[in-house]
Amino acid sequence: AQTVTQSQPEMSVQEAETVTLSCTYDTSESDYYLFWYKQPPSRQMILVIRQEAYKQQNATENRFSVNFQKAAKSFSLKISDSQLGDAAMYFCAYRSAVETSGSRLTFGEGTQLTVNP
Amino acid sequence: DVKVTQSSRYLVKRTGEKVFLECVQDMDHENMFWYRQDPGLGLRLIYFSYDVKMKEKGDIPEGYSVSREKKERFSLILESASTNQTSMYLCASSWYRDQETQYFGPGTRLLVL
């Protein structure tokens, strides 16, 4: 079974600074997808960014980028120019690319990000 | 925009009561999911469904059942609520052709006394 670990329960960053959230995972599969979700106080989960394991290029979405290290099974999220609206719980998630596993996601424990003005 | 709605934001029930949590999505998604979220544990999958009347157990199905009679609606049932089922419950849906993108509802915070 796959596992996802986020070792930082809480992180803080100054507004306009850069912060990196860590995520490691364990799998025996070679093809899979990785995601970062944001959960603001409203509790609505929002997809931030996704990465296909077969792609070597790191995904980017505006101020959000990832550092995907497949051999190390590491998938960190970098938030540049942090804004107050970035304050939220961030979840790392894994999904197998194997069709028979359905589309179920395995989530990490979450990292609570605080942005200080 | 995809919209996933859940019947209640907050719910208080007594031990032993039967509890129904409803989830509705408006984008004709094939897949629907129920998770529970607990501090320090992240989100854990309870059940999911990939079609009407189809269901699969997730990681923690004990004490729960589900029903999917219509494509847009996925219900989570606590047959006899217990205090250890106090939690935040999140519903999600996804399209078969884009299975990795799950759209979440706002969540139901359930307190079992």
- Is the CB of A103 less than 8 angstroms away from the CB of B45? no
Provide the shortest C-alpha distance from residue A82 to chain B (in Å): 24
Reported as a single tens digit per residue, the pLDDT across A58-75 is 999 999 999 999 999 999
What is the per-residue pLDDT for A42? 73
Contact A2/B at CB under 8 A: no
- Tell if the CB–CB gap between B40 and A42 is shorter than 8 Å: no
Confidence of residue A2 (pLDDT cuts 50, 70, 90): confident
Of A46, A50, A91, the CB nearest to B43: A91
Nearest alpha-carbon partner for A37 in B109, B104, B4, B97: B104
Residue A41: predicted pLDDT? 80
Tokens 């070597």 correspond to what residue? A56
End-to-end CA distance of chain A: give it in Å, rounded: 41
Residues 6+ apart with CB under 8 A from B112: B12, B13, B14, B15, B17, B19, B81, B82, B83, B85, B86
**Which chain B residues touch A if contact means CB-CB below 8 Å?**
31, 33, 35, 40-45, 48, 50, 56, 58, 88, 90, 92, 94, 99-102, 104-107
The stretch A67-86 carries a mean pLDDT of: 96
Share of chain A above pLDDT 90, in %: 75
**More confidently predicted of A116 and A43:** A116
CB of A6 within 8 Å of a chain B CB? The answer is yes
Secondary structure class of A85 (helix, strand, coil): helix
Lowest mean pLDDT among A2-16, A86-100, B36-50, B52-66: A86-100
pLDDT of residue A100: 56
- Per the model's pLDDT, the better-predicted residue between B88 and A100 turns out to be B88
Cα atoms found within 13 Å of the Cα of residue A105, Cβ hemisphere only? 31
Q: Are B59 and B68 in contact (CB under 8 A)?
A: no
Q: Is the distance from CB of A113 to CB of A21 less than 8 angstroms?
A: yes
How does pLDDT run across A35-46, given as a tens digit for each residue? 999 998 877 788
Quote the CA–CA distance of A38 and A27 in Å, as a whole number: 23
**Cα distance between residue B42 and residue A3, in whole Å:** 12
Residues of chain B with pLDDT under 50: none
Q: Binning pLDDT at 50, 70 and 90, where does residue A102 land?
A: low
The residue among A91, A3, A25 whose CA lies nearest residue B88 is: A91
- pLDDT reading at A91 higher than 60: yes
pLDDT category of residue A99 using cuts at 50, 70 and 90: low
